[in-house]
Amino acid sequence: TNSLEFLMFSLRFCPFQVKELVLDNCRSYEGKIEGLTDEFEELEFLSTINVGLTSVANLPKLNKLKKLELSDNRISGGLEVLAEKCPNLTHLNLSGNKIKDLGTIEPLKKLENLKSLDLFNCEVTNLNDYRENVFKLLPQLTYLDGYDRDDKEAPDSDAEGYVEGLDDEEEDED
């Protein structure tokens, strides 16, 4: 069996306890990541970089998910399901996908907590006034492609603080 099958077999017994899941470079099948279900109810961080996804339609409902890494896939639309399935997203990385126009990202308006969006290496970044128009379209954003409206770089701690935040929560529970 491949490593993904083994991982999913192992996780099948405790998906409700998992807070972080990294499935980078594992292959999806017909737009689905086998074993990824809504039983991962505590999941806060999911990374599916370069797994061959063409859509997010088959993502399970993950209410607590805050950070979603989808870079280097072949997603070209259908982002409206993210507001329904991952309503608490704060960070979304769609770099290296087939996002061509602003209309494709417009549904992200419904993600009220979204503060960081990455679209590096997507065609949409070649549009005139790209940054200005994305910030206008998605007023809830603080960072686009790692920079704020004033072109100040996002502090590294913003990305790294996510994992530290998980550690802090675990200490509080003891």
CATH number at 105 reads: 3.80.10.10
Q: For residues 51 and 129, what is the distance between their CA atoms, to the nearest angstrom?
A: 31
Strand partners, 67: 45, 91
Strand partners, 153: 147
- In terms of pLDDT, which residue wins out, 100 or 41? 100
* Residue 119 CB partners (closer than 8 Å, separation 6+): 94, 95, 97, 99, 105, 125, 134, 144, 145
Q: 4-13, 39-48, 67-76, 163-172: which range is least confident on average?
A: 163-172
pLDDT tier for residue 156 given thresholds of 50, 70 and 90? confident
pLDDT tier for residue 7 given thresholds of 50, 70 and 90? low
Q: State the average pLDDT for the chain.
A: 86
> 33 lies in which domain range?
3-173
Q: For residues 32 and 60, what is the distance between their CA atoms, to the nearest angstrom?
A: 10
pLDDT over threshold 80, residue 103:
yes
How many domains does the structure of the chain reveal? 1
- Percent of the chain at pLDDT > 90 equals 67
* Cβ–Cβ < 8 Å for 64, 42: yes
pLDDT over threshold 50, residue 27:
yes
3-class DSSP state for residue 130? helix
